[in-house]
Structure 1
Amino acid sequence: MTEQTYTVDMQKLYTATATAYGAAGEKVSTDDGRLDLPLSLPTELGGEGSDGTNPEQLLAAGYSTCFQAAMGIVSKRLEVSLSPNTEVQTQLELHENGDAYDFKITITVKNSDLKGEQLQRLLDETLKVCPITRATQNAEIQVSGA
């Protein structure tokens, strides 16, 4: 049996561009200036633990907001309503895996009016459409030097 690849034409909706500066990542900012943050390595990873944030915190924050937005879209498709008090908490753990590093990610939905099967269906469907979830599975990544 031969493997076939199918390409789907996708419409680009938005582009975000961020740049990290410094040999050890001392600052990160976006091209539109809305995000401009100092970075610091946590003490658990050998850093000084200064006031800056780190990539793991940024990814956890981005994943929480992305998942929550996707959950809102899916809830409309499923015709269920979410409480305005719904919270999405993302816990991201960095693990050493030989010479590489991996993440273990736990997403917890709190204060939702949905329970049981209804909530599980919403979460299962949200996992299928959340762009960060999808990107961590089959991302198209291009890396180049300039």
Structure 2
Amino acid sequence: MKPMFTSSATAVGGRDGRVVSEDGVLDVALAMPVPGSKKSATNPEQLFAAGYSACFDSALNLVARKQGIKHDGSEVTAHVTLNEAADGFALSVELDVLVRGVSEEQAAELAKIAHTVCPYSRATAGNIQVDVFTRTTDAA
């Protein structure tokens, strides 16, 4: 492997603390996700969902470019769930992939290949359950 870049962040106080990136661009309060809570803080699952959705959308667009498939835009929503397991806790992910201006088959194929390219998908393979759902609008 040839490193491209490294990012770092430091958390203090765990889920009720703060996380700050090495350059200070990311500096957010953390809080336990409590249903109905109005806390203005994030949680590790939201941060993971943000990273995964951005990475997967980039991978999808890279695959489309390499295959010469033009589309009218894409968006990926990552639903990250914290699950209670018999031996602790586990994450699961649902990726909702929207690709505009292509057929259902093309959207599904792009997402399938992106799932093999995306670093988050590669890191989670065999570790957590990840389900990918595709949809399209204005089919070509």
Q: Report if TM-score (shorter chain) is over 0.5.
A: yes
Residues in 1 aligned to 2:12 and 2:63: alpha-carbon distance in whole angstroms = 37
Matched, 1:83 2:68: no
Gaps of 5+ in 2: 128-140
Q: What amino acid is aligned across from residue 72 of structure 1 in structure 2?
A: N
TM-score, normalised on structure 1? 0.79
Label 1:23 to 1:67 Cα distance change in 2 as closer, same or farther (>3 A).
closer
Which of residues 18, 26, 38 is equivalent to 2:17? 26
Secondary structure at the counterpart of residue 125 of structure 2: helix
Identity of aligned residues (%): 34
Gaps of 5+ in 1: 1-9, 140-146
**Cα deviation per residue 1:15-65 (whole Å; 9 max; x = unaligned)?**
010110125440001001110001111114xxx652110000000011110
Matches for 1:57-76 after TM superposition, within 5 Å: 57-76=46-65
Structure with greater proportional strand content: 2
User: What residue in structure 1 maps to residue 133 of structure 2?
Assistant: none
Runs of 4+ in 1 over 2 A off after TM superposition: none
Structure index of larger Rg: 1
Q: How far off its partner does 1:137 sit?
A: 2.4
Aligned length: 127
Matches for 1:34-73 after TM superposition, within 5 Å: 34-44=25-35, 50-73=39-62
Label 1:138 to 1:14 Cα distance change in 2 as closer, same or farther (>3 A).
farther
**Cα deviation per residue 1:118-143 (whole Å; 9 max; x = unaligned)?**
1111011000000001111279xxxx
On the 8 A contact 1:63/1:90 being kept in 2, the answer is yes
Taking CA–CA contacts closer than 8 Å with sequence separation of 6 or more, which of the two structures ends up with the larger relative contact order? 2
